[in-house]
Amino acid sequence: MKNKVTVIGAGNVGATCAQYLAMMNLADVVLMDIVEGMPQGKALDLTEAGLPLGFDGRVTGTNDYADTAGSDILVMTAGLARKPGMSREDLLHKNAEIVGACMTEALKHSPDAMILMVTNPIDVMTYHAFKLSSHPSAKVFGQAGILDRSRFAAFLAMELKVSVREIAAMVMGGHGDSMVPLPRYTTVCGVPVTELIPRARIDEIVERTRKGGGEIVKLLKTGSAYYAPAAATAIMVESVLKDARRLLPCSVYLTGQYGIDGIYIGCPAVLGAGGVEEILELDLTDEELSALQNSAKIYKTNIDLLGH
């Protein structure tokens, strides 16, 4: 029986994620949105791309959660996008309402589905969905670190004028200005990037990575990034459905790791058929650990604002 993935929210991120999932032949995809006709139109357009792109999975658009029944994974992308001058925290309460309403309806029809959160602020919304679902924490996780890692790798590839495929980058912490890129654990074909780029220049690239989403928001004027976020999300779905057990930086629930307990934050984790199957504890310097714990404090404050 073919896997089924529902993408909730047929905006730029959701529709592009559905496209990538279809192209990867991972599952039948349902594109769910409250706007009448919009998910149906995008799904039909995607279906008609099957021949030239070489995929044969079903892509269905709907406004009815009943059509999402039996999903293996619920990918939550619905929510307000950031506008220039708006922080991720500005989105907190409105997107919490949207996530709550969507998750409540979707879980009625797919009570055992894993939840992959993409809606911002990701770490807080992932915790919110976890509390709403009553799932074990391993079945609820957020996409952020893979996107941040991809941005870091892209900037390093530009700097070094090498293929981005040779770069293995690692980041931790929250998705935003408090993220913790880890140059010590970032390599170019096995060579630590700290041996290839002066520290001062690495610091500038790290800062650009932290503000990578805001840079795109500023350039677009309306809306925010979607190609890279959608691709990062599809990679997570693939690791779960194929039981690939890839080690990926994701928003995961910590229970004492890194001295952090009871919140979601970005850490390297093994994603497989069981969801988050292992959380890796890296040997961090005092400075890196302090930055990660400070990032966690920011999200704990936001969680408290939601009343959890």
CATH classification of the domain holding 283: 3.90.110.10
Mean residue pLDDT across the chain: 94
pLDDT for 87 = 67
> Catalytic residue among 93, 109, 175, 308, which?
175
Q: How confident is the model at residue 192 (pLDDT cuts 50, 70, 90)?
A: very high
Per-residue model confidence as pLDDT tens digits over 222-252: 888 999 999 999 999 999 999 999 999 999 9
Lowest mean pLDDT among 116-130, 174-188, 255-269: 174-188
Distance CA(235)–CA(134), nearest Å, equals: 25
Same domain, 106 and 200: no
pLDDT of res. 84: 66
Last residue of a domain, one of 142, 163, 197: 142
Report helix, strand or coil for 71.
coil
Q: Please tell me the distance from the alpha carbon of residue 252 to that of residue 274, in angstroms, as a whole number.
A: 13
Q: Which among 99, 115, 142 is the end of a domain?
A: 142
- Mind listing the pLDDT tens digit for each residue in 199-220? 999 999 999 999 999 899 999 9
> Which of the listed residues 103, 121, 142 is the one where a domain comes to its end?
142
**In angstroms, how far is the first alpha carbon of the chain from the final one?**
38
CA–CA dist 184, 192 (Å, integer): 6
Which pLDDT value is given to residue 91? 73
Task: Tell me the mean pLDDT in the region 268-279.
Answer: 98
| 107 touches 101 (CB < 8 A) | no
What CATH number is given to the structural domain containing 109? 3.40.50.720
Residues 202, 112 share a domain = no
**156, 193 in Cβ contact below 8 A?**
yes
Dump pLDDT digits (tens) for 2-52. 899 999 999 999 999 999 999 999 999 999 999 999 999 999 999 999 999
Q: Which residue's entry shows tokens 């055992």?
A: 112
Whether residue 175 lies in the annotated active site: yes
Tally of domains within the chain: 2
